[in-house]
Amino acid sequence: MPRNIAQLPPDVIITICAYLGPRDLLSFIQTCRGIHALGSTDYVWHHIKSDLPLDIEGKLLDLSGSEIKSSVIRALRLDENWNSRVSKVTRISKIHPRTPVTEMQTLGRNWLVTSSRARGSSNTINISVWRLDTITPNDKLIGSAPACVISFEPVRAFSFETALCRGKHIALISALGSSATVPNGLWTIYTLNLKGRRSIDNKPYLEKELLIEHSGLLYYSQISGSIVAAAVAQVGLASWKHQILLLNTDTNVYLKIDSPEINKFDCGRMQFKIYPPYIIIVGSIKDKIKLQVRKLPMAIFSTIPIPPDFDEHTMPLAKWDSSIVDYETVAIRNLEMSISSEPFYTPFGLKSFRIMVNHSPLSPMENGRVDIFQFPIDTSQQNLEFTGWKPLHSFPTPPNSTLEPICIGTSGSRAVWLAHQWNNDEYHLVKGSFGEDGSYLVTDLQPPELPLPFEARDCKALYLEETRGRLFVGVHSTAEVFILEFS
């Protein structure tokens, strides 16, 4: 019998390592050289058990053990900093878009896409793409010339969505708006080459533009790889109908989902996230949250290109490939629902999904409440149903308060929001941390004795990049975007 654990057979030590959590594994492999060598193998780190958001953009199996280990160490340091009552801001940078930003999204580590109201227009936005690796720290102002690579104005657009689709240099931008000929719906999809003018052949940043008109009201969009989706509401005098439009930008396959399940959602209150081949649909139905997980129609993943035909009257009507699970929460009055605006990705597979629900009381003298719901997802199952689902976390908010804007990280374990207390007209930038075990922390992002370089009341846009520990803050009064780093 071995006298110490280092004398165990190598396969036993590797098995032990594969079942340890990140903190325990890192401590365990420091015990001796032999265990360190065995615990640093690719096999061990490919099987790491972790609920930490990792800054990994590919599959674990595509990375070496040392790369995964480095990501886990960064995630642990960020988690410790974020879960402290006073989190240390390790770096502050900023850019100057010249007009106040209304929305922001990152593309990988080095790119930021912003939208702002177009000059001289109240019904369209201007979209700008920024290179973040050109800005300097220490709170120095960076003008738009060295950092902004392209700025353009989609036709009558009011919102956008963006994501990388092929590697680190090709991205898609989905802009929703209205047109002069079809007042309710215009969907514009851009292909963005991030190498652009830096490439040998001097290609433009915008390589392709696709316009799709629709008679319904387009109000929500998502991108995952080459798949772009949009939610549309057909509104009548006394009724409405929801549809989900799906487009494969590589093959021109264009489908619509029109099912009784999604038509039950309150008008314009349906949102979704795509995690191929699945889609997670959430929305409100008469003071309850409904979450549905479905498998997308396999036709949308066809690799055979077809001629483009985007006529809504001839586009095929598709059905879900299968139903995985349905959740219905307990009743929640006056609810406002928020989900992550980050592209939904986890290297550990689709295991759960979180929603933040803010509900205010009928009286301005009563406390409000915020609930964090977590919905487990097992894609090996089908046709599961759960009702009366209760929140994982619940905490009060001051009376007569509003929470806007709200941004939630991709895993739902971290969030930031602007709280406005109307009774005393105070503004607070608040951070939240929500553990799997039911523990949580909700406190000011920074205490008064550590002021930030902007006033909380001027924050009009927020974007949290959870895995890298970066918070992007759009300041209205100065038309600046501050980048706060916590990693």
Gap between the Cα atoms of 359 and 364, Å rounded: 12
Give yes or no for residue 200 having a pLDDT over 80.
no
pLDDT band, residue 139 (cuts 50/70/90): very low
What is the mean predicted confidence (pLDDT) over 276-297?
A: 96
Question: pTM higher than 0.85, yes or no?
Answer: yes
Please give the pLDDT value at position 191: 95
Q: Say whether pLDDT at 107 is over 80.
A: yes
Q: What is the mean pLDDT of residues 383-388?
A: 98
Of residues 346 and 420, more confidently modeled: 420
Q: 362 versus 406: which is more confidently predicted? A: 406
479 contact partners, CB below 8 Å, separation of at least 6? 96, 97, 98, 99, 100, 101, 116
pLDDT (average), residues 114-131: 85
Cβ–Cβ under 8 Å, residues 189 and 262: no
- Position 198 scores a pLDDT of 60
Nearest C-alpha neighbor of 378 from the set 437, 438, 323, 436: 323
In the structure, what pLDDT confidence band is assigned to residue 349 with cuts at 50, 70 and 90?
A: confident
Report pLDDT digits (tens) over 246-255: 999 999 999 9
Average pLDDT, the chain: 90
Nearest to residue 408, comparing CAs of 240, 273, 224, 270? 273
Rounded to the nearest 5 degrees, what angle is found at the Cα of 155, between the Cα atoms of 151 and 159?
75
Closest CA to 331 of 360, 297, 289, 300: 289
What was the pLDDT predicted at 218?
Answer: 94
State residue 345's pLDDT score: 66
pLDDT range class, residue 118, cuts 50, 70, 90: confident
The 3-state secondary structure of 228-294 reads EEEEEEEECCCCEEEEEEEEECCCCCEEEECCHHHHCCCCCCEEEEEECCEEEEEEECCCCEEEEEE
So what's the pLDDT on residue 336?
92
Residue 199: per-residue pLDDT: 55
Average pLDDT over residues 457-486: 96
Model pLDDT for residues 431-464, shown as the tens digit of each residue:
999 998 889 999 999 988 888 999 999 999 999 9
Residue 57 confidence (pLDDT) above 90: no
Q: Which of 316-330, 338-352, 377-391, 399-413 has the lowest mean pLDDT?
A: 338-352
Report whether pLDDT(145) > 70. no
Q: Tokens representing 132? A: 């973040």
The predicted structure's pLDDT at residue 1:
44
**DSSP letters for 337-386:** EE---S----TT-S-EEEEEEEE--SSTTS-EEEEEEEEE--TT--SEEE
* Strand 393-397 relative to strand 335-338, pairing: unpaired
* pLDDT given for residue 91 in this prediction: 94
Model confidence at 307, pLDDT cuts 50, 70, 90, reads very high
Phi, psi of 261 (to 5 degrees): -60, -45
CA–CA gap between residue 178 and residue 197 (Å, rounded): 31
- Please name every residue paired with 115 in a beta bridge, in sequence order, or none if there are none: 103, 127
Quickly state the pLDDT bin for 365 (edges 50, 70, 90): confident
Return the pLDDT at 356.
Answer: 97
Tell me what pLDDT residue 141 has.
42
- pLDDT of 144 > 50? The answer is no
Query: Over the stretch 166-196, which tens digit does the pLDDT of each residue have?
Result: 778 899 999 999 876 656 789 999 999 998 7
pLDDT above 90 covers what percent of the chain?
65
